[in-house]
Amino acid sequence: ATSSSSAQRLANFLHLLTISQHRIAVALRVSFISYGAVQFVRRYPGACAFVLACQNSENTLDVENLEVENSNNKEPKRYNAKSLEIAISSLPFSLNVPTEMPSSYHPFKPVLITDWNDIEDGRDIAIQLKSTSKETDNILSFYARDYDMSILQSFKKDAEKISLENNVDVYFNAPDKYSEWHTGHISWVDSNIFYSVELTGSDLKASDVRRILLDLVKQTQ
């Protein structure tokens, strides 16, 4: 009887040891994953916006975390977002926002989300982001919308066509050199979304505007 009892206690001990080893292994894997995630964020802080700011799964504008700018029911309906992550996650389409800004510019911030046409269906959505210069009055703007791609035709006139490595064609319009306040922009359509980035300011050189905007465009691809 004593031998049988000892064998049973040994079996119970080995069973508990196996469970403990399994729990330790799981804890170590979780810790490793968490550590890896922390290290990734520390090394690539700009990637957070892309990780957190995914499109919503309904393919319509998610207004739950947005603030209505115009309280009446007139079209278009305009919304504000408290953060870039909230703004992008509310959209019915994916949006990669450039995070590597020119050294003298602040990160992009949401200005306005607009629901055009039928304000009840949560479609025909446009978003505008803005980045201000730390040194001048110059402004960078980023615009995207999911309707009426024919608007690109108006930007092709007198524009320089630039073919990106992924075969997407973008169109650069140089700033008007005869105007005191210049605006240059690059516009394109990709996956049925119209995009435009522009730089507005004074004393802008076309070559500098082209370089700055093209770098931002490449970050969206």
The string of pLDDT tens digits covering residues 18-63 is 444 444 443 433 333 333 433 433 444 444 344 334 555 568 999 9
| Neighbour-count burial for 15-31, b at 16+ CB within 10 Å, e otherwise | eeeeeeeeeeeeeeeee
Pairwise CA distance, residues 178 & 138, whole Å: 17
Q: What is the mean pLDDT of residues 157-179?
A: 93
Q: What pLDDT, on a 0 to 100 scale, did the predictor assign at position 220?
A: 96
The closest of 100, 106, 149, 153 to 126, measured between CA atoms, is 149
Answer whether the bond into residue 92 is a cis peptide, omega within 30°: no
Q: What pLDDT, on a 0 to 100 scale, did the predictor assign at position 207?
A: 95
The closest of 119, 122, 120, 138 to 130, measured between CA atoms, is 138
**Predicted TM-score (pTM) of this structure:** 0.73
Cβ–Cβ < 8 Å for 169, 188: yes
Q: Band the pLDDT of 162: cuts 50, 70, 90.
A: very high
For residue 158, pLDDT beyond 80: yes
Q: 126-147 pLDDT, tens per residue?
A: 999 999 999 999 999 999 999 9
- The residue written with tokens 């894997």 in the block is 29
Pairwise CA distance, residues 109 & 180, whole Å: 26
